[in-house]
Amino acid sequence: MRALVCHAYGPIESLTLEDVPEPRPAAGEIVVKVGAAGVSFAAMLGIQGKHQNKPPLPFVPGNEIAGEIVALGEGVRDLKVGQRIATGGSRGGFAEYCVTIAANAVPIPESLPYAEATNFPTLYPTAYGALKWKANMQPGEVLLVHGAGGGSGLTAIEVGKAMGAIVIASAGGADKLAAAQEAGADHPVVVLSGPSFAVEVSQRLPTAVLAASPDTRATGLVQAEFRSPYFRLYGSDDVVGVEIGGALKNVIAIAAGVVEGLGLGHNALAALVTRGLAELTRLACAAGGRRETLSGLSGLGDLVLTCTGQLSRNRHVGVELARGRPLAEILAGMKMIAEGVRTTGAALALGGEGALTRRNDPVTVDAYVQGDRTPLSSHVSGYVQSVLVRDNQLVHAGDMILQMVDDDYRALASEAQAQADAARAALAALEAKLFPLATPTPIERREGLGLLECRHTVSNTGARARP
């Protein structure tokens, strides 16, 4: 018979199609002509050598099967040859014939296709055990199912509905959400995000946010239910863009607090926010979000508020870090959660997957300043990450933050300084010709700005000049 054989742990593509001997049943076993085999998560772990039950090499993977019994082992009484069964406790399912334990076989009706039957012995008992034995769910309770478009999610919906629950489903796209609703989900999830400090909302100050869901009816329902004279909700179907913008702006906000705490000025803050928005946009687009979403309330709006508002929790963390306080001490003194602390690691991991470094991606091309090939805010993310893992005071924090400024900006600053020096020399030469009798007062120089103020008193006229 033919079978897919695993000779070395690795990806599923490493399996080889071979001719192997047909199996023989031992006592208490049956041989099944495989009609369908599930390509399950557990099977993938087994092929990679990562499952807790690690089979010795070589082996034929596949533990969820459905098919027809062709042979009975000694002592099998409750099953018969020709009977249709499904089982989740087998091994060797990626073959034409498979041996499995008779006690694990579940008879299935003729009306149930083999491909669908492979889900029954594993997914449905898992959902039932979680909801009945673990959660002790009661009729009328609300069940929230994440990943509702997958096998585990769909069976959880069906079992939950059978137990009398009100099911709310979240899924990663309109097609998956439609499948969840077809399985019986009562309500889809709508994501709310945008520039909104809760205390100002409670004070009925004007606020606008974004409601996002693949289900436009659900979005419209949330807009109608939450709308008020001071609270406006715009609609979107870009759940990915809204969620990434709402989560990762907190990382940039911590960096903004560091800029504020170090006294680096408004220019540095504006540069950070601008380059941070570009980086968030690239990441959201690489994950399937849309560019325009990050230009709206859940991107630019939320970023500006969180990076500049005095009520921002994440900005507060950055300010205190810049003052030298340990992270643990800062968090212990807060009554609310600064989400950006944990999100920083996730943001760096996502960036490390290549979403922010594809130079040929059309989303990223116009996000780079001419001559700039390093995202400015990536330096900030790295800096903030290095600060977050410290328990001691900041060391050379100003020097580290200056890494945000790339070579192009420094070159421009150097060129501007040279031009200012040349202008100052030309001015001095001109003064010598125009005011030969002038008595200069002390020169006031504003360091760092390249500005020069000179006051001259002309002795013969009493007039004053300010070049």
Annotated catalytic sites, by residue?
Answer: 249
In sign, the C-alpha dihedral spanning 63, 64, 68, 74 is: positive
Per the CB < 8 A criterion, the answer to whether 452 and 431 are in contact is: no
Cis peptide before 58 (omega within 30 of 0): yes
148 C-beta neighbours (distance < 10 Å), count: 26
Query: What's the rounded Cα separation, in Å, for the pair 443 and 441?
Result: 6
The answer to whether 31 touches 68, Cβ cutoff 8 Å, is: no
Q: Name 261's Cβ contacts closer than 8 Å, sequence gap at least 6.
A: 318, 319, 320, 321, 322, 323
Q: Measured between alpha carbons, how far is 214 from 236 in angstroms, rounded to an integer?
A: 8
Which tokens belong to 52?
Answer: 């807790």
H-type alpha helices, 111-238: 114-117, 120-128, 151-162, 174-182, 198-202, 216-226
Distance CA 229, CA 42 (A): 52
d(CA 373, CA 412): 16
Rounded to whole angstroms, the maximal C-alpha distance in the chain is 127
